[in-house]
Amino acid sequence: MTTSREVHTAASSLATSSLSISKDTLKQYFSSNSIPSNNEVDIILSRDSVLKIGIKDKSILKINDALRVSRSQNGYSNENFKEINDHVANFNSSNTSIRLSFQLMTRAEPAEMVIATIRSLLAIKAADDEILIVDNNHTETALYEPLADFCAELDTRLNVHFYHIDAVAGFKAGALNLALGLMNPNATHVVVVDSDYQALPQARSSIATAIDNYPNHALLQFPQFYRDAGRVDVHSELNHYFNYHLYRPFNRHRALSTGTYAIIRRSALLDLGGWSGASLTEDAQMGVLMHQHGLRSQFIPEVIATGLLPTTVGDLMSQRRRWIYGNMQVLNSYFSITSRLSTDTCLSPNRSITNALGERLAYIRAHLSQLSAWVNFTGIFILLHMCTLLIIGSALLINASINLPLLLTPLYAVYISYSVFLARRLWAYCHDCAPLNQQVSSSSSEARNQASSVRDSGKSSASFSNKLRAWALHLNFWELGALSWLPVLWGRDKPFICTPKQQYMRTRRTAWMANIVALPKLLLILNMITAVIVSPLSRLYSPILFFCAITVCLLKLWAAKVMFANYNYGEVATSTSLPLAKSVSNIRLVANPQLTKIKLSKTKPIEIKNFKPKSKPVITLFKDDNAVNH
C-alpha cells in the first residue's frame, strides 16, 4: 500500500486560528463543510511526500474536507483490507448521532508513548470518530517524524490525522484552537486527550453513555488516573482532587474542566469563541466561561483512561506550580468576567442556568472551591514569619534595648495559621474515601488484571496510614500553594512549561541531589531558625513556639522522606500496554530502518508493507513570530 506522509504545514496566516477569535467569526468559518471556490487555498503534495498547505486568507478553518480529498487522491490505495472493514462494520451499529474528535496536543513528546496512546484510541473509536494529533512549538524533526510516519501508514478510513506546526501563539489553547479549525465539522464533541493517557476498553461506550445521560450539558469531565507502579503516595495525593474535592455534590454538578478526557460539545465551544489563552490553565478558564454563558457541566466519576506521572520531583513541582498559577490567573479575573457577562445580551441559545441569586452563589462556591484546590492562603503568614525573624535577628545583633519577648507575639498568629492549614488538610485527607480507587479495585477480575497498577493504588489508599502519607506528601507543596501565585496579583505572566515524559538516567547520588534541590525548603529553614531563637538555651525561650517550630520541622522532614521514597533511584514500572477491546483489531508496529510494518490481527494477520520514501527530512514552512511559548 502506497501512502503519503500527512504532515500539514501552512503559511503565516495559519496563526489566525490560534488567536482569540470572535463568536461571529468562528460561525462564519464553520458555515460550510467545504471550501468555496473563491478561497485562495493551495494544497500540494511535494516530491518528498509532504502535504503542504498555502493559504492567503483566514480560510484555514475550512480546509478539513479538502485535506481529506487531497489525501485520498495522492497515492492512497483502495485495496480492500478485510480487517479494517470489520473494524468499521463493528461500530456502524453504535450511536451515529455522537461523533467524537479525539484531539492530542503534543510538544516534543516521546514518539513511542504517543503512538501507544493513538493505538489505545484506535481500539475504542467508532468508525465516524477521528483522531487529530497537533504537534506544536518545536522544530526537532527527529521527534515528530516517527509520529508522522505512523499516522501516514494507517488506513485513511481510520481517520487519523497528524499536523505539525513549528510555533503557535497562545500556549496549549492556541494548539487546541488550531485543532478546532482542523477537525471534522460533522463531529459533535471534542475529546481532549493528553499524549500519555491510554484509553481503557470501555472508554468509548462510557463517553457515549455519559452524553446520552446528560444531553443538555456542554462539558463532561472524566477523572485523571495514573498507571505508574511504585508511587502510591503520589497517586493518592493527585487523585485526592477527584476522589474528594471534585466528587462532592456541589462540585460534581458544576465541574470545571481539568484537561484530559474533557468531553466538550463542539457547538458550545464555538459559541464561546474557542479556547481562551488568558491563563496557563486553559481548561479551567473554559469551564468558568461556559458556566457564565449559561452552559452546564458534570463530573463523571468513572475511570476510562490512565496516564503517567511526572518522572522527577522537579517536573512534579513545575506541573503543580503551573496549575496553581493558572488557576489563580482565572480567579484574578473571575469577578471582572462575571461583571462583563452580566451586561452581555448575546449569550448562548443553549442557556439553561437561571439567574437566581442562589444558583449564582452555588456556582461561585463551586468555582472558588475548585480553583483554590491547590492553593493555600498562609502566604501572608509566611511573609510575616520571615519579617519577624528578620526583626528579632537584627535586634539581637545590635543589642537593641527593646522588649524582645514582645517581638515574639506575631509568631503566635503565624503558628495558629499553620495549625489551621495543617488541620484542615489532614481532615480532608482522612475523609477521602477514594471512591474512584474502589471502583477500579472492585471491577471484574479481567479488568483488574488489565489495570493492575491502578488497582494497587486503590488498595493502598484504603488504609489510614496511606492517607497520612498522602497528606505528608502534600506538605511538600505547601510553599508553592502559599507563595507561587502572588505575582498574579500584579499581572505578571509566566511561560507555559510542558511536563516532560522522558525518563532520565541518573545515578543514586544525582537522583538524591536532584530531589533535594527540587523540594521547597523555605518553611523548614524558617522553623529551624525559629527553634534556635526560642530554644531553652535562648533568653527568648518560649515552650509553645519551640514545640510548634520543632513540629513543623519534623513534618517537613517526614514529607521529604515520603517524596524521596516515591522518587528514589531506579526505574519505575508502568503498565504501558493497556488491553484493547475484544471487538477491535490489535494494531502493532514493528520498527525497521528500511521497512515499517503494520499488522492488524484478529483471526488471520494481514501484513501491510510500506517502504519509507528516500527523501530529505520533513521541513515545516510555518513560523509564527508572535509565538510566546517557551
pLDDT at 417: 97
- For the stretch 546-580, pLDDT in tens is 999 999 999 999 999 999 999 986 655 554 334 43
Quick check: helix, strand or coil at residue 588? strand
- For the stretch 115-143, pLDDT in tens is 999 999 999 999 999 999 999 988 889 88
First to last CA, the chain: 39
Higher pLDDT, 320 or 347: 320
Which of 92-106, 155-169, 336-350, 602-616 is modeled with the greatest confidence? 155-169
- For the stretch 80-118, pLDDT in tens is 334 434 444 444 444 458 999 999 999 989 999 999 999
pLDDT at 357: 82
pLDDT at 108: 87
**Poorest-pLDDT segment among 68-82, 260-274, 317-331, 416-430:** 68-82
Number of other CB atoms surrounding residue 145 within 10 Å: 17
Higher pLDDT, 100 or 511: 100
Cell of 237: 495525593
Spatial separation of the C-alpha atoms in residues 67 and 81, rounded to whole Å:
23
Asked whether residue 91 is domain-assigned, the answer is yes
**Poorest-pLDDT segment among 103-107, 209-213, 347-351, 529-533:** 347-351
**Poorest-pLDDT segment among 26-35, 290-299, 404-413:** 26-35
> pTM (2 decimals)?
0.76
Spatial separation of the C-alpha atoms in residues 168 and 173, rounded to whole Å:
10
Asked whether residue 311 is domain-assigned, the answer is no
Average pLDDT (183-188) is 95
Residue with cell 503516595: 233
Spatial separation of the C-alpha atoms in residues 380 and 482, rounded to whole Å:
8
Asked whether residue 216 is domain-assigned, the answer is no
- For the stretch 36-77, pLDDT in tens is 333 333 333 333 333 333 333 333 333 333 433 443 443 333
Q: Are 611 and 595 in contact, with CB atoms under 8 Å apart?
A: yes
Side chain identity at residue 317, one-letter code: M
Spatial separation of the C-alpha atoms in residues 224 and 20, rounded to whole Å:
28
CA dihedral 504, 509, 510, 513 (to 10 degrees): 130
pLDDT at 496: 65
Spatial separation of the C-alpha atoms in residues 154 and 357, rounded to whole Å:
53
Spatial separation of the C-alpha atoms in residues 627 and 291, rounded to whole Å:
29
Give every CB contact of residue 389 below 8 A, 6+ residues apart in sequence: 526, 529, 530, 533
Name the strands in the sheet holding 130-136, side by side, starting at the edge strand that comes first in the sequence: 41-45, 50-55, 5-9, 160-165, 130-136, 100-106, 189-193, 262-265, 217-221, 296-299
Spatial separation of the C-alpha atoms in residues 559 and 615, rounded to whole Å:
54
Domain holding 38, by residue range, is 1-191+583-630
Spatial separation of the C-alpha atoms in residues 215 and 408, rounded to whole Å:
60
- For the stretch 310-323, pLDDT in tens is 989 999 999 999 99
pLDDT for residue 433 is more than 70: yes
Give the confidence band of 601 by pLDDT, cuts at 50, 70, 90.
Answer: very low
pLDDT for residue 364 is more than 60: yes
Spatial separation of the C-alpha atoms in residues 115 and 338, rounded to whole Å:
41
Q: Across all residues in the chain, what is the average pLDDT?
A: 75
pLDDT for residue 10 is more than 50: no
Instruction: Give the count of domains, the chain.
Output: 1
Cell of 616: 530529505
Asked whether residue 269 is domain-assigned, the answer is no
Asked whether residue 182 is domain-assigned, the answer is yes
Higher pLDDT, 166 or 457: 166
Calculate the CA 523 to chain-centre distance: 29
Asked whether residue 378 is domain-assigned, the answer is no
Quick check: helix, strand or coil at residue 517? helix
Give the confidence band of 397 by pLDDT, cuts at 50, 70, 90.
Answer: confident
Side chain identity at residue 474, one-letter code: H
Quick check: helix, strand or coil at residue 562? helix
**Biggest distance spanned by C-alpha atoms of the chain:** 94
Asked whether residue 84 is domain-assigned, the answer is yes
pLDDT at 85: 41
Asked whether residue 69 is domain-assigned, the answer is yes
Q: What percent of the chain has pLDDT over 70?
A: 67
Quick check: helix, strand or coil at residue 590? strand
Q: Are 189 and 215 in contact, with CB atoms under 8 Å apart?
A: no
